[in-house]
Amino acid sequence: MKLKKIFAYSAPLLAIAAAFLVCAIILLITGQNPLTAGAALLDGAFGSRVRLAESLAKTVPLLLTGLSVAVAFRAGFFNIGADGQFLIGALLATGIATKTSLPPKVLLPAAILGGIIGGTLWALIAGWLKYRRGAPEIITTIMLNYVAVALVAFSLQLPSSPGGAHGWLLETAQSQPQSDVLPRAAQLPALLSGTTLHAGAIIALLCAIGVWWLFTRTEKGFLMRAAGSGERAAKIAGIATASQAYFAVGLCGALSGLAGALEICGATKQLSTGTPGYGYTAIAVALLANLNPLAMIPAAMLFGFLDAGGGAMERTAGIPAVMVSVITGVLICAVALLPRFKWAVQSRAQLKTLFFGNSS
């Protein structure tokens, strides 16, 4: 039991150390100085109050999409579609904020609610395809990501000729593939003036606590985890696995859609074809945290700091920001290999106990 606890706490740290070590080796091979890169990375993420706030702002969508992935994985649904759900949430939030005439007092809640509904419905498409048609969700969620990207591009397309058709969300000036800036009433207040750190950070923290409470303190969370751990055993135990699965899929879509809405209403203030998706990095966040909602807070912060620091590393040290993607990829590989390493350590300990007894 002691070995198991030590491994549980040290495994994420081992994965992070392995990722940075691999990146340091790559930098050395290419003639770069890892210490210079590390200093630039840290300065870009923590160098000032403004930089720290920007790093925390990047944590918000990563935390929510990471929670989305964790909810789905716990229920046995491999959600690779948080990216698409995020974009659909951002799309609907933008549409409600810029194309409706709602009273100012309800415009922001309506935009956020629209994002949640959009993400939920987008995820339920893949859920229906899996549980009613037997389509593997890994394929359908990935394909739905591409459809979501295409819908955003279609909604923001520029007119091909003067007087030609254009996207329904395209800005009034029609000069760039982006929407109009959201009206003031649809924008989340900033937590630190002059930065993109917004009140959505508080909402994301509350969501993490809420998902933790759902999984550890409620019957619904137990039923979801039971259905995800073994569908056949859950059915024998009388658990309605289909309803639990649909609830989990809808919840994961709602979290990703919320992330998209908060990003638009809080950070970017407008939608563009370059609006980044966070779904793939969210998988790394969820795996690094071992699907633990509370552990996902520091995991999301790590990737948020890497994202913010990567740009500074490229600007000041001349080292490509793509190295952050290398770190992410190595982290995913390391986390995937950790269970095998854990099995090897436990097997060795069991053999030692068998042949030499318990020394304690």
How confident is the prediction along the chain (360 residues), in pLDDT tens digits per residue?
455 555 555 677 777 888 888 888 988 888 888 888 888 888 888 888 998 999 999 999 999 999 999 999 988 899 899 999 999 999 999 999 999 989 999 999 999 999 999 999 999 999 999 988 889 999 999 999 999 999 999 999 888 645 567 889 999 888 889 999 999 999 999 999 888 999 999 999 999 999 999 999 998 888 888 877 777 767 766 776 778 889 999 999 999 999 999 999 999 999 998 877 687 889 889 988 888 999 999 999 999 998 888 877 877 777 777 787 787 778 777 777 766 655 454 555 554 554 555 554
- Helical segments of 30-136, H only: 34-46, 49-74, 82-99, 104-133
**Residue 219 and residue 274 in contact, taking contact as beta carbons nearer than 8 Å:** no
**Residue 273 and residue 177 in contact, taking contact as beta carbons nearer than 8 Å:** yes
At residue 249's C-alpha, the angle toward residues 225 and 265, to 5°, is: 120
For 226, how many CA atoms within 13 A lie in the half-sphere containing its CB?
19
User: Which residues fall within 8 angstroms of residue 307, CB to CB, at 6 or more apart?
Assistant: 55, 58, 62, 281, 324
Selection from 326, 322, 291, 305 nearest residue 79 by Cα:
291
Selection from 318, 185, 346, 186 nearest residue 262 by Cα:
186
**Residue 244 and residue 76 in contact, taking contact as beta carbons nearer than 8 Å:** no
**Residue 270 and residue 188 in contact, taking contact as beta carbons nearer than 8 Å:** no
For 117, how many CA atoms within 13 A lie in the half-sphere containing its CB?
10
Residue 146 in tokens: 């591409």
User: Which residues fall within 8 angstroms of residue 61, CB to CB, at 6 or more apart?
Assistant: 86, 259, 260, 262, 263, 278
Residue given tokens 């969620």 in the structure block: 141
**The pLDDT value given to residue 162:** 55
Strand partners, 272: 178
Selection from 90, 68, 64 nearest residue 152 by Cα:
90
User: Which residues fall within 8 angstroms of residue 302, CB to CB, at 6 or more apart?
Assistant: 16, 288
Alpha-carbon span 71 to 208, nearest angstrom = 11
Amino acid at 81: G
pTM for this predicted structure: 0.89
User: Which residues fall within 8 angstroms of residue 326, CB to CB, at 6 or more apart?
Assistant: 22, 23, 26
Selection from 299, 242, 276 nearest residue 149 by Cα:
276
**Residue 255 and residue 204 in contact, taking contact as beta carbons nearer than 8 Å:** no
**The pLDDT value given to residue 23:** 84
Alpha-carbon span 327 to 302, nearest angstrom = 11
Strand partners, 198: 190
